[in-house]
Amino acid sequence: MKTPSDRTRLIAGATQRGRGRRPVNPPVERASTMLSDRADQMRDESLGPVYGLAGTTAARELRTALAGLEGAAESWIVPSGLAAVTVPLLAVARPGDEIIASDAVYGPSRRFLSRWMTARGVSVRFHAAEASAEEVAGLIGETTRAVLIESPASLTMDMLDAPALAAAARAKGVISIMDNTWGAGLAFKPLRHGVDISVQAVTKYAAGHSDLLMGAIATNDAALGRAIDGTIEDVGWHVSPDDAWLALRGLRTLPLRMTEQARSALEITTWLGQQPEVARVLYPPLPSDPGHALWARDYSGAASLFGLEMKGGTTEAGRAFLDALSLFGLGYSWGGYESLATHETHQMAYRQSPARLAGELLRFHVGLEDPADLIADLDIGLAAWRKALKA
Ligand SMILES: *Cc1c(COP(=O)(O)O)cnc(C)c1O
Per domain, the residue ranges of the chain are 20-252, 254-390
* pLDDT grade for 348, boundaries at 50, 70 and 90: confident
What is the pLDDT confidence band of residue 32, given thresholds at 50, 70 and 90?
very high
Closest ligand 1 atom, residue 215 Cα: 7
**What is the whole-number distance in angstroms between the Cα of residue 185 and the centre of ligand 1?**
14
Cα 218 to Cα 76: distance, rounded to the nearest angstrom: 7
How many angstroms does the Cα of residue 205 sit away from the middle of ligand 1? 11
| pLDDT greater than 90 at residue 351 | no
pLDDT in tens, 204-247: 999 999 999 999 999 999 999 999 999 999 999 999 999 999 99
Residue 1 banded pLDDT, cuts 50, 70, 90: confident
Higher pLDDT, 158 or 391: 158
* CB neighbours of residue 52 within 10 Å: 17
Q: Which residues pair with 312 in a beta bridge?
A: 359
Lowest-pLDDT range of 15-19, 137-141, 164-168, 303-307 = 15-19
Q: Is-same-fold flag (20-252; 254-390)?
A: no
Q: Ligand 1, from 204, 211, 340, 364: best to mutate by most atoms within 8 Å of Cβ?
A: 204
Q: How far is ligand 1, taken at its centre, from the CA of residue 213, in Å?
A: 9
183 alpha-carbon distance from chain centroid: 7
Q: How many CB atoms lie within 10 A of CB 315?
A: 12
pLDDT at 277 over 90: yes
The atom number, within ligand 1, closest to the CA of 202 reads 7
Using one digit for the tens of pLDDT, what is the confidence trace for 171-183? 999 999 999 999 9
pLDDT (0 to 100) of residue 154? 86
Q: Does residue 81's CB lie within 6 angstroms of at least one atom of ligand 1?
A: yes
> Which CATH class, in words, describes the domain spanning 20-252?
alpha beta
319: enclosing H helix or E strand: helix 315-324
Backbone angles phi, psi at 95, to 5 degrees: -50, 135
- Max alpha carbon distance in the chain (Å)? 79
Return phi, psi of residue 151, to 5°: -150, 130
- pTM for the full predicted model: 0.97
Compute the distance from residue 135 Cα to the ligand 1 centre, in Å. 26
- Residue 283 in contact with ligand 1 by CB distance below 6 A: no
Asked whether residue 349 carries a pLDDT value surpassing 80, the answer given is: no
- How many of the other CB atoms lie within 10 Å of CB of 343? 16
Residue 252: band (very low, low, confident or very high) from pLDDT cuts 50, 70, 90:
very high
Q: What is the mean pLDDT of residues 294-305?
A: 98
| pLDDT range class, residue 103, cuts 50, 70, 90 | very high
Which residues, 6+ apart, have CB-to-CB distance to 259 below 8 Å?
301
Query: What's the rounded mean pLDDT across residues 340-358?
Result: 86
Task: Give the mean pLDDT of 368-379.
Answer: 98
Query: Which CATH number applies to 254-390: 1.10.645.10, 3.40.50.10860, 3.90.1150.10, 3.40.1180.10?
Result: 3.90.1150.10
